[in-house]
Amino acid sequence: MPFKETCRVEERVRMLSDYASGIWSVSELCRRYGVCRDTFYEWHKRQESGEAEWFLDRSHAPVHCPHRTEEGLADAIIALRRRYPHLGPRKLRVVLERKHPGQGWPAASTIGDILKRAGLIAPVRRRRPPIDQPRRFAAVEAANDEWCVDFKGWFRTGDGTRCDPLTVTDGYSRFLIEVKITSATIEGVTPAFTAAFRTHGLPRAIRCDNGTPFGSRGAAGLTRLSAWWLKLGIEPRFIRPASPQDNGRHERMHRTLKAQTSRPPAATASEQQARFDAFRQHYNQERPHEALGQRLPAEFYASSPRPMPERLEDPWYDADHQVRRVRSNGEIMWKNDLVFVSEALIGELIGIAELETGDHLVRFCDLNIGFIDRRGVFVRFAPPRPRSGLREPHEHPAPHDLSGILPVRNVDNQSG
């Protein structure tokens, strides 16, 4: 029995024992034990009833519930779930209504409760939503100000090989930088980006969606790929979730690419890649582009003056930041305790600056990825996104006051 409940039971027994002694009146006992007269008489009634455990709390559940689901209906719901374990409450209700249209089936929420009680729905750990940090994106005014990347929808060649074409364009000139068949993984796309950076130089920003391998649900939406971009001085610009129109220029190129290269697909993957290479040459050097005044993308594009570095250095932070190296499990050592930050930043150096609120802002390169509150809990930020897509967003107040950064007394470059 819990300690608090034990204390309550002892007080009830002692109160009724004092009453039986005849020394105390009911009013005096009620004042002494902090209960009302009705409560006293209720416990006295239970004691007089002769019940062995009269001093214990009773269940407050209703004796009868007129809206309780009939056992037969609950059994039918459980049986159907076991037959179709992949169907949720809403779909199960539709199937039941089709099979038994005259029966009044409970609401989907009630079906969910029945399945939970039967142990047929595993509880899902809900993650705390990240804090939005809207940001005004710089306008695209020259070549390499912003590249656009995505994977065109996968398809199979004539021999059954799956093709996932990675596409990269320049947002200003519409120049098609790369169309490469590769796996949609960080290991698959990194060589393609390395080759593009070495050939064309580094862009200032890359616009991409939030899916793998570009984005994640972690701090600031970073993956190892987008963290690598940041170290190269490239700003990842994530579009709004489920909003391909925010990357509309690139999606329009996909429409032309699909029509001219994969309807029907080639016989093999190598032949399909050869089609993509020929299309890239045609798209850049021969096909007039309406958005460019019917001129060619190659007439507007020039390589970036920022070359791909041979060696990447750790990010540099101001003297008002403490620095920590992210461990192999995504944690850092903070005030003699381990705090999880991000698996995407394993092995990377992050900066931590104290705010006037007492919280500590966490940064990677020049990107705010979250803050550590006064309890030592890391709260992640969502990636910076424009609220209105390609248009200039209105000004919004900062989700967390990041303006007041206090200088630290010393800077510890600790390994963990």
CATH of the domain at 238: 3.30.420.10
Backbone dihedral angles phi then psi of residue 207, each to the nearest 5 degrees: -95, 130
Q: For residue 150, give the H/E element and its range.
A: strand 147-151
Task: Answer yes or no: do 296 and 361 share one domain.
Answer: no
Residue 390: band (very low, low, confident or very high) from pLDDT cuts 50, 70, 90: very low
Task: With CA atoms as reference, report the closest residue to 248 among 277, 286, 209.
Answer: 209
Where residue 145 falls among pLDDT bands split at 50, 70, 90? very high
Q: Rounded to an integer, what distance in angstroms lies between the CA atom of residue 169 and that of residue 298? A: 12
**What are residue 331's DSSP bridge partners?**
340
Confidence label for 92 from pLDDT (cuts 50, 70 and 90): very high
Segment 186-203 mean pLDDT = 97
pLDDT in tens, 241-252: 888 899 999 999
Q: Give yes or no for residue 182 having a pLDDT over 70.
A: yes
Q: Which residue has the higher pLDDT, 229 or 61?
A: 229
Determine the structural domain holding residue 44 and report its residue range. 3-48
Q: 282 with 374, same domain?
A: no
pLDDT value for 1: 57
C-alpha 295/C-alpha 311 separation (Å) is 38
Residue 203 near residue 140 (C-beta atoms within 8 A): no
Q: Count how many domains the chain has.
A: 4
Q: In angstroms, rounded to a whole number, what is the distance separating the alpha carbons of residues 121 and 123?
A: 6
124 burial level (CB within 10 Å; 0-12, 13-18, 19+): exposed
Tell me if residue 99 falls in helix, strand or coil.
Answer: helix
> Which range (5-19, 77-91, 324-338, 377-391) has the least confidence?
377-391
Same domain, 287 and 354: no
Say whether both 198 and 294 belong to one domain.
yes
Residue 218, pLDDT score: 94
* Averaged confidence pLDDT in the chain: 88
Same domain, 160 and 113: no
**Same domain, yes or no, for 330 and 281?**
no
Planar angle of CA 213, 313, 385, nearest 5 degrees: 40
pLDDT of residue 394: 41
Contacts of 202 (CB under 8 A, 6+ apart): 144, 232, 233, 234, 304, 306, 307, 308
Angle subtended by helix axes 71-83 and 108-117, to nearest 10: 80
How confident is the model at residue 407, as a pLDDT? 45
Is pLDDT above 60 for 398? no
Note if the pTM is more than 0.85.
no
Same domain, yes or no, for 41 and 91?
no
In a domain, 192, yes or no: yes
CA neighbor of 220 nearest in space, from 133, 111, 158: 133
The pLDDT of residue 387 is: 64
Domain annotation covers residue 127: no
Q: Please tell me the least confidently modeled range out of 60-69, 203-212, 374-383, 399-408.
A: 399-408
Please check whether residues 151 and 40 belong to one and the same domain: no
